[in-house]
Chains A and B, each alone.
Chain A
Amino acid sequence: MAEIQLKDVRKSYGSVDVIKGVDLEIRDGEFMVFVGPSGCGKSTLLRLIAGLEDITSGDLLFDGKRVNDLAPSKRGIAMVFQSYALYPHMKVYDNMAFGMKLAKAGPDEIRRRVEKAAKMLHIDHLLDRLPKQLSGGQRQRVAIGRAIVRDPKVFLFDEPLSNLDAALRVATRLEIAKLHHEMKNVTMIYVTHDQVEAMTLADRICVLRDGLVMQVGTPSELYERPNSLFVAGFIGSPKMNFVNGQIAQGFNAHTIGIRSEHMVVDNADPVWRGKVVHAENLGSDNFLFVDIGSEEPVLVRQEGKTAIPWGAEIGVRPLIENLHRFDETGNPIR
């Protein structure tokens, strides 16, 4: 059980400010994802919460208690690292038990907890192996298991899937989602640069940029009501179409944003007309790149399976209720 509060938390390395005043509340038992482009400070923020880095100024509270100066091991946290950080000379069992042996738990208790965690992650048949004998996915599960065994109040993940290949990433993502479901009392904080991971795992997402929080909200809030041009562009795949200039001025905005699924091919009543310059068929969806005279061609998710040849002139229409308008500073106009 842990509720985490950050109050104007700052971190600088020498004269370089990495975290520039973050206010954030992470609710008890919540799955919070920090997402942002590389260098936005998301990993640093996680390391501040873990206690692996000192907070320069501001307060970090666990259940209302200030923990700025508390050693990592006393915060009731467990962390899963990007590179797994398994001890290569220890067997899986010892890797999982290492932290507990030192916590002076009895041998029976250790074995019980390690085996329980191993069963939960389907690695109970691997306990006698060395990390180098495991695949990447198995190693990551051992790393997660090692964290579970500690019975933490707060579970921290630092880009745990980025060393895995695409298929394993999806599978392990599901495991983590399941884990969150099974460990309802545990607050989880998860760092990723992959917005798909953020969307699929999070209860709430915190979008960071240049050491500042851009927006905090549920995945659908961020997707449907981004409060900045940056969030609108960062969340969602494929990326939201942005159109500037005259076309946008027609909507009384500096920039308009519209997602590809909110564009329809409509030759009868088009808003814009243009040539199909490229098309991508993903099997389930067909994406058309249409040159409507904006800087970049706009992406349209095509309904139905009728093939439209490259170079064809078509009409498209945005669904006005799903159109986002932004001013010069990137703030939304509502």
Chain B
Amino acid sequence: MASITAGQPEPQATRPARRSELQAERVRAARLFLLPMLVALTLVAAWPLFRTIYFSFTDTSLSNIGAGKWVGFDNYLSVRTLSSGKVITRGVLVDPAWWNAVWNTFRFAIISVSIETVLGLLVALVLNAEFKGRGLVRAAILIPWAIPTIVSAKLWAWLFNDQFGMVNDMLMSLGLIDHKIAWTADVSTAMYAVLIVDIWKTTPFMALLCLAGLQMIPRDMYEAAKIDGVHPIKVFFRVTLPLVKPALMVAVIFRLLDALRIFDLIYVLTPNSSATKTMSVISRENLIDFDKFAYGSAQSTLLFLIIALAVILYIWLGRVDLGGQKQ
């Protein structure tokens, strides 16, 4: 029955054959449409990624990229016992500078994304309410996000300048500090400076994503709550938050991916500060500045794995939470 050729008159028998032909046609069309995207992704994402992973297993240097020899896992971890009996371990996995960068990255990502989520949701709630000039405010609030990161980093670098910066000037005249602080240079404040700028810059983006989620909630849900006399705060926690949660989860994933690979803001605002160096910054440093190309590649590979792991973990935890909510 399966080998029925086209044109055979028996209707019951031709039907499945025709349907599968239709299916095949759809698959062919889908492949055709996907092809340009797949080619582009291969060229700009898959190939560089593959090369980076490959380099991390060699001793390639920047001066001659083609000349690298295979060294196995040495860039990650190599253990050597000297004739004196002393054991020397080297590699990214035992490099304190690397683990400092990992710590910095996660600290930055978790703090900035948490604050941005809360602030973004608050801003979105305000923008979702009806008031005069709402369109204007919606547009205005996006400005920090629309400014290129390099520009806003430079701008904030001036605001944070220890001698001439506005931040110090204002805090001094308010009497909140008694001496000028070198915000971006001081190890104890550099991370705060970076966090402040990132939160200033990215909260609008978060607000926009939250607003999209809020607008999906039907208005009559709120009206029903109003007739029931439910307190607005309770409405927020029992109705708004559960309903906006899926959109919020996606927004957090976007931001988390962004924050875990933060580079430009830190590179411009606090260059070469061990308090803010992140995984991206340190791998670029090794790749280019220190001419430890293979070592930098190993760090880039780890960066890729760590971000992938973090996102998988987040999605998995998010699902568990969603299931748990049903009780």
Contacts of A89 in B (CB 8 A): 242-243, 325
Q: Classify the secondary structure of B's interface with A.
A: helix
Q: Are B229 and A99 in contact (CB under 8 A)?
A: yes
Partner of A81, one of B224, B229, B234, B325: B224
Give the docked Cα–Cα distance between A150 and B224 (Å).
12
Q: Are B228 and A52 in contact (CB under 8 A)?
A: no
Is B37 an interface residue, CB under 8 A from the partner?
Answer: no
Contacts of B238 in A (CB 8 A): 87, 98
Contacts of B226 in A (CB 8 A): 52, 71-73
Question: How distant is B76 from chain A, measured CB to nearest CB, in Å?
Answer: 45
Q: Are A73 and B227 in contact (CB under 8 A)?
A: yes
Interface residues of A in 65-117 (CB under 8 A from B): 71-74, 77-79, 81-83, 85, 87-89, 98-99, 102-103
Partner of B223, one of A85, A87, A99, A103: A85
Give the docked Cα–Cα distance between A52 and B223 (Å).
7
Number of interface residues of A (CB under 8 A): 24
Q: Are A98 and B230 in contact (CB under 8 A)?
A: yes
Contacts of A103 in B (CB 8 A): 228-229
Partner of A99, one of B230, B325, B326: B230
Give the docked Cα–Cα distance between A79 and B223 (Å).
9
Q: Are B227 and A50 in contact (CB under 8 A)?
A: yes
Contacts of A146 in B (CB 8 A): 224
Is B36 an interface residue, CB under 8 A from the partner?
Answer: no
Contacts of B243 in A (CB 8 A): 87-89
Q: Are B220 and A85 in contact (CB under 8 A)?
A: yes
Contacts of B229 in A (CB 8 A): 71-74, 99, 102-103
Question: How distant is A26 from chain B, measured CB to nearest CB, in Å?
Answer: 18
Contacts of A52 in B (CB 8 A): 223, 226-227
Give the docked Cα–Cα distance between A146 and B202 (Å).
42
Interface digits, B189-229 against A, CB 8 Å rule (1 contact, 0 not)? Answer: 00000000000000000000000000000101101111111
Q: Are B325 and A85 in contact (CB under 8 A)?
A: no
Contacts of B225 in A (CB 8 A): 98
User: Which residue of chain A lies nearest to B230 when distances are taken between CB atoms in the complex?
Assistant: A102
Is B125 an interface residue, CB under 8 A from the partner?
Answer: no
Is B239 an interface residue, CB under 8 A from the partner?
Answer: yes
Contacts of A73 in B (CB 8 A): 226-230
Q: Are B224 and A85 in contact (CB under 8 A)?
A: yes
User: Which residue of chain B lies nearest to A95 when distances are taken between CB atoms in the complex?
Assistant: B224
Q: A52-B223, A98-B238 are in contact. Are A85 and B218 (CB under 8 A)?
A: yes
Is B231 an interface residue, CB under 8 A from the partner?
Answer: yes
Contacts of A130 in B (CB 8 A): 326
Question: How distant is A314 from chain B, measured CB to nearest CB, in Å?
Answer: 47
User: Which residue of chain B lies nearest to A52 when distances are taken between CB atoms in the complex?
Assistant: B223
Interface residues of B in 281-327 (CB under 8 A from A): 325-326
Give the docked Cα–Cα distance between A72 and B325 (Å).
30
Q: Are A99 and B218 in contact (CB under 8 A)?
A: no
Interface digits, A25-58 against B, CB 8 Å rule (1 contact, 0 not)? Answer: 0000000000000000000000000111000000
Contacts of A79 in B (CB 8 A): 223-224, 227
Question: How distant is A102 from chain B, measured CB to nearest CB, in Å?
Answer: 5
Question: How distant is A270 from chain B, measured CB to nearest CB, in Å?
Answer: 54
Q: Are A150 and B228 in contact (CB under 8 A)?
A: yes
Interface residues of B in 235-278 (CB under 8 A from A): 238-239, 242-243
Contacts of A98 in B (CB 8 A): 225, 228, 230, 238
Give the docked Cα–Cα distance between A114 and B61 (Å).
74
Contacts of A74 in B (CB 8 A): 229
Contacts of A83 in B (CB 8 A): 218, 220
Give the docked Cα–Cα distance between A130 and B326 (Å).
9
Give the docked Cα–Cα distance between A98 and B326 (Å).
16
Partner of B220, one of A81, A102, A150: A81
Q: Are A81 and B228 in contact (CB under 8 A)?
A: no
Question: How distant is B141 from chain A, measured CB to nearest CB, in Å?
Answer: 26
Contacts of B326 in A (CB 8 A): 130
Give the docked Cα–Cα distance between A150 and B226 (Å).
13
In this complex, the member of B218, B220, B224, B234 whose beta carbon has the largest number of chain A beta carbons within 10 angstroms is: B224
Give the docked Cα–Cα distance between A52 and B228 (Å).
12
Interface digits, A129-143 against B, CB 8 Å rule (1 contact, 0 not)? Answer: 010000000000000
User: Which residue of chain B lies nearest to A73 when distances are taken between CB atoms in the complex?
Assistant: B229
User: Which residue of chain A lies nearest to B226 when distances are taken between CB atoms in the complex?
Assistant: A72
Q: Are B228 and A102 in contact (CB under 8 A)?
A: yes
Question: How distant is A188 from chain B, measured CB to nearest CB, in Å?
Answer: 15
Contacts of A99 in B (CB 8 A): 227-230
Q: Which residues of A are in contact with B by a Cβ distance under 8 Å?
A: 50-52, 71-74, 77-79, 81-83, 85, 87-89, 98-99, 102-103, 130, 146, 150
Q: Which residues of B are in contact with A by a Cβ distance under 8 Å?
A: 218, 220-221, 223-231, 234, 238-239, 242-243, 325-326
20 contacts between A and B (CB under 8 A): A52-B223, A72-B226, A72-B227, A73-B228, A77-B227, A78-B227, A79-B223, A79-B224, A79-B227, A81-B223, A83-B218, A85-B224, A88-B243, A98-B228, A98-B230, A99-B227, A99-B229, A102-B230, A102-B234, A146-B224
Query: 5 extra interchain contacts, Cβ-Cβ under 8 A, other than A72-B226, A85-B220, A102-B231?
Result: A50-B227, A73-B229, A78-B227, A85-B223, A89-B242
Q: Which 6 A-B pairs have the closest CB atoms?
A: A73-B229, A99-B228, A85-B220, A85-B224, A89-B242, A81-B220
